[in-house]
């Protein structure tokens, strides 16, 4: 038996508290994924700086084999960061349509046009997915340099 109305006979579309609860749920899901992407990006930048410093020290000391190992570590770090960032971005992107729809319903129901709506995360995607990808390409170049010398 399907229940179409809550026990208090209010249709679900007219229940503001249900709409707000749904909005809070979707916002929490979206916000968690976006925060994970930014945390991943921060950890990736710090780890990349450490690997780059180790690589530079190995090159300056003419330890090209060690420099090649650091390059491989940097490429691996970039690949993992790219894969995880891509998955987090996909999860956040999946929540955006529901969040936008719920915000639209809430703004029309409450007659408030100044509520900030979520916009597409194109810039977020470029920063969190492209940066590890470009760093992996740089790592391949550093690996080639270490192997040639």
- pLDDT digits 0-9 by tens, 2-48: 545 555 565 555 577 888 888 888 888 888 888 888 888 888 889 98
pLDDT at 94: 86
CA–CA dist 16, 7 (Å, integer) = 16
For residue 1, the model assigns a pLDDT of 45
The model's pLDDT over 50-109, given as tens digits with 9 standing for 90+, comes to: 999 999 999 999 999 999 999 999 999 888 888 888 888 888 888 888 888 887 887 777
Q: Say if residue 38 is exposed, middle or buried (CB neighbours under 10 Å; 0-12, 13-18, 19+).
A: middle
Helix axes 64-110, 131-148, angle to 10 degrees: 170
Dihedral (CA of 137, 142, 146, 148) sign? positive
Whole-prediction pTM? 0.69
Angle at CA of residue 17, ends 16 and 22, nearest 5° = 95
Torsion of CA 42, 29, 94, 41, to 10 degrees: 0
Where do the domains of the chain lie? 17-148
Report the pLDDT value the prediction gives residue 16, as an integer from 0 to 100: 75
pLDDT digits (tens, 9 = 90+) for 107-148: 777 777 666 666 656 666 666 667 777 888 888 888 888 888
User: 131-148 and 16-60 are packed helices; what angle lies between their axes, rounded to 10 degrees?
Assistant: 10
Torsion angles phi and psi, residue 18, rounded to 5: -65, -40
């Amino acid at each position: 038996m399907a229940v179409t109305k809550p026990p208090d006979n209010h249709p679900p579309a007219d229940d503001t508290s249900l709409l707000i609860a749904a909005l809070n749920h979707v916002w929490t899901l979206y916000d968690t994924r976006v925060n994970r992407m930014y945390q991943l990006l921060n950890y990736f930048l710090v780890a990349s700086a450490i690997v780059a410093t180790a690589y530079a020290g190995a090159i300056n000391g003419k330890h090209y084999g060690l420099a090649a190992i650091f390059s491989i570590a940097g490429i691996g770090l970039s690949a993992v960061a790219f894969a995880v960032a891509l998955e987090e971005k996909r999860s956040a992107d999946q929540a955006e349509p529901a969040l936008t729809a719920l915000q639209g319903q809430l703004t029309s129901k409450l007659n408030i046009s100044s509520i900030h709506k979520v916009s597409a995360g194109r810039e977020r995607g470029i920063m969190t997915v492209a940066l590890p990808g470009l760093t992996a390409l740089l790592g391949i170049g550093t690996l080639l340099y270490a192997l040639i010398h």
